[in-house]
Chain A
Amino acid sequence: MVDVLVVVQKEADASELLTIAKKVGEPVALTYGNSEIEKLTKYFNKVYRIKEDDPNSIFFAIKTLYEKLNPKLVVGMSSKNLKDAYSRLAGIYDLPLATDIFDFNVSGSKVTYKRSFLSGRAIETEEVTMPLLLLVSPRKTQKSEGNSNGSIEELSIGNSSNVVIKERKEKVKGGVNLEAAEFIISVGRGFKNKDDLKLAFDLAELAGAQIGCSRPIAADLKWLTEDHWVGLSGKKVAPKVYLMFGISGAPQHLAGITDAKTVIAVNNDKTAPIFKNADYGIVADLYQFIPILTKKLKERH
């Protein structure tokens, strides 16, 4: 008897998903593509594997296992490819699906969970009866120890995909890891030219900060790579200090910094909405202020 199907690639995710699965019952896992399969067998008694990693193949594999095992819950970590695959299984059987959830609880056949809502401005609690599909927000669930010694079974899904992959292009990365950063200096449209970002980079190097940015800098102007992008569609960050230069404070940007401890904004427009969403505000022209701040920090050494 299987109660939960866990779709997972990495051990770090497996340890959190197991915590959720155990609240419902007995889990098995499905893994795909380039996964940490040997480590996954510590967490599950059975791990099914497909070698493909595109959403069509993942969808066919989940569907095959769903129909075979009839689980109450299909769970995984939120990602774009799993959103794609899960939404299709949900469509076929009119199953409830929720994405980016946390605080999962079970009472009988009823389930509750929370998720971010209204572009990060509210938290909703939903109540639903199993069977259902869930995609979980990473790093918000306690980890479980794995003490299984599971077996691996290859799953063949046949070559039935109607979407053909022609090419994959790795995204250029700026070498930042904003999710782990304690101090982020973030740049916005207040900078007039790409070259002027050097002001912020010099300051960040001196202060030991990583560089973040608002949507226009990464998505529209492409002055920085997407791994610098903070916000609803970019990274969610939780630094001790988030120091912004020339960011006006669009709600989508604020949605990415709700977990920041101290937020500081420098903007030359004293009416900028960001000041209402900052712990400390400084009305100043960044072109004048950053060189002074940099000089002061140098003197401090």
Chain B
Amino acid sequence: MSTLGDIVVLIKPALNPEMIRSLPDGGVDFDNIPLKLSDIDRNAIEEANRLKELLKGKIYSITISTWGPIAKRDKDIKMAIQEGLAKGVDEAILLEDDSITPGDQITTASAIVSILNKFNIKPDIILTGEATIDGFSGQVAGRVAAKLNLPYISFARKIDLNGNKVIAERDLEDYVEVVETQLPAVISVTREINSPKPPTLIQIRMASKKPQHVVKLSDLTNVAMPKKKLAEAKVLSVKRKQTMIEGKSLEEVADKLIEILEQEGVLKH
């Protein structure tokens, strides 16, 4: 049962873009790209820790696995959740089910709400990263806020609490907006909000003792099935020449560089 002052962080094991693999036809080789905890969700976990000091509740993490097959992905998924537990999450809940992979944001948001109901978690704050490093669409937090009819603060780069009020700075294209709302609220954070450090060995060891729940789709109610179909994914091949400019001296190298800049037509004189 949940107590007042609880925080929920939504964390995603995302395809690791740095480990992208290509099929012979140029398609994305999904099966051979590992998952890792999405970078900006690390900032959300870090912020949850800071806010926990003030709210005195528990930190829950909720994860909806979106990339299958689960049997193959299970280790990466559990590693991502373990990282959250090592970094201060108190209790983790995971939905793993091949029938909702590859998932979409409709399914993810409705499953998050369903899990909150099933575990009777009534958080003061729901935190997540502004977007995930694979899809980068940044819409799950807003969907969850709307479904729960809670205030939503997106792109927060600073969060302050004052009693039952939250004051945050939203980082927009041309300005920073200071906003205020009442708890409970849903907040998405940017990378700039803090600087998360990797967990220590002791933290990792402690993490395995913390409660973890794995649920299946059949354990939940009102989860919407995916509506988007990933028809095709191609590796973007920007082929660069990879030519090294060398010379006997830096002067000679500079001359060669100037020649290239002239050929490209960017030197005006």
Instruction: Give A contacts to B, CB under 8 Å.
Output: 54-55, 79-81, 83-92, 94-100, 112, 116-129, 162-171, 182-183, 207-209, 219-220, 232-233, 239-241, 243, 251, 254, 258, 261-264, 275-284, 288-289, 292-293, 296-297, 300-301
A276 to B18, CA, bound (A): 14
CB atoms of A163 and B257 under 8 A apart: no
CB of B25 closer than 8 Å to a CB of A: no
A54 to B172, CA, bound (A): 11
CB atoms of A279 and B243 under 8 A apart: yes
Task: Enumerate the 6 nearest inter-chain pairs by beta-carbon distance, A residue then B residue, closest first.
Answer: A87-B142, A91-B143, A91-B146, A87-B139, A119-B17, A183-B266
User: Which A residues touch B180, using CB under 8 A?
Assistant: 163-164, 166
CB atoms of A278 and B242 under 8 A apart: yes
CB of B95 closer than 8 Å to a CB of A: no
Residues of chain B in range 63-80 having any CB-CB distance to chain A below 8 Å:
none
CB atoms of B192 and A219 under 8 A apart: yes
CB atoms of A55 and B240 under 8 A apart: no
Residues of chain B in range 116-169 having any CB-CB distance to chain A below 8 Å:
133-147, 151-155, 167
Q: What is the interface of chain A mostly: helix, strand, loop, or mixed?
A: mixed
CB atoms of A170 and B174 under 8 A apart: yes
User: Which A residues touch B153, using CB under 8 A?
Assistant: 163
Other 20 A-B pairs with CB < 8 A, given A119-B17, A169-B175? A80-B155, A83-B138, A83-B139, A91-B145, A94-B224, A97-B105, A99-B139, A100-B136, A119-B133, A119-B134, A162-B151, A164-B180, A169-B178, A207-B267, A240-B266, A251-B18, A276-B240, A277-B238, A280-B257, A281-B245
User: Which A residues touch B233, using CB under 8 A?
Assistant: 117, 122-125
**Contact flags (1/0) for B211-232 with A, using CB distance below 8 Å?**
0000000000000100111111
User: Which A residues touch B240, using CB under 8 A?
Assistant: 263, 276-279
User: Which B residues touch A81, using CB under 8 A?
Assistant: 172
CB of B20 closer than 8 Å to a CB of A: yes
CB of B54 closer than 8 Å to a CB of A: no
A124 to B190, CA, bound (A): 24
CB atoms of A84 and B142 under 8 A apart: yes
Q: Which of A55, A79, A121, A162 contacts B235 (CB 8 A)?
A: A121
User: Which B residues touch A118, using CB under 8 A?
Assistant: 15, 17, 20, 28, 33, 133-134
Nearest B residue to A260 via CB reads: B238
Count the B residues whose beta carbon is within 8 Å of the partner chain — how many? 83
A74 to B39, CA, bound (A): 30
**Contact flags (1/0) for B17-42 with A, using CB distance below 8 Å?**
11010000000100001000000000
Q: What is the interface of chain B mostly: helix, strand, loop, or mixed?
A: mixed
Nearest B residue to A285 via CB reads: B250
A157 to B262, CA, bound (A): 57
CB atoms of A88 and B177 under 8 A apart: no
CB distance from A178 to the nearest CB of B (A): 14
Max chain A CB contacts within 10 Å: which of B17, B134, B195? B17
User: Which A residues touch B20, using CB under 8 A?
Assistant: 118, 121-122
CB atoms of B234 and A55 under 8 A apart: no
User: Which B residues touch A240, using CB under 8 A?
Assistant: 264-266
CB atoms of B182 and A162 under 8 A apart: yes
CB atoms of B134 and A97 under 8 A apart: no
User: Which A residues touch B4, using CB under 8 A?
Assistant: none
A166 to B18, CA, bound (A): 40
Given A118-B28, A284-B253, residue A123 in contact with residue B177 (CB < 8 A): no
Max chain A CB contacts within 10 Å: which of B139, B192, B244, B264? B139
Given A163-B153, A165-B179, A292-B254, residue A112 in contact with residue B236 (CB < 8 A): no
A290 to B24, CA, bound (A): 41
Given A292-B254, A293-B254, residue A164 in contact with residue B181 (CB < 8 A): yes
CB atoms of A293 and B258 under 8 A apart: yes
* A to B CB contacts below 8 Å, 7 in the list: A90-B106, A99-B138, A112-B231, A124-B232, A165-B178, A167-B178, A219-B191
User: Which B residues touch A126, using CB under 8 A?
Assistant: 228-231
Q: Which of A168, A183, A209, A219 contacts B177 (CB 8 A)?
A: A168
User: Which A residues touch B255, using CB under 8 A?
Assistant: 296
CB atoms of A207 and B261 under 8 A apart: yes
Q: Which of B145, B191, B232 contacts A125 (CB 8 A)?
A: B232
A183 to B191, CA, bound (A): 29
CB atoms of A281 and B244 under 8 A apart: yes
User: Which A residues touch B209, using CB under 8 A?
Assistant: none
A123 to B20, CA, bound (A): 12
User: Which B residues touch A232, using CB under 8 A?
Assistant: 136
CB atoms of A122 and B138 under 8 A apart: no
Nearest A residue to B188 via CB reads: A84
Max chain A CB contacts within 10 Å: which of B145, B175, B254? B254
Max chain B CB contacts within 10 Å: which of A163, A182, A277? A163
CB atoms of B250 and A88 under 8 A apart: no
Q: Which of A162, A168, A275 contacts B176 (CB 8 A)?
A: A168
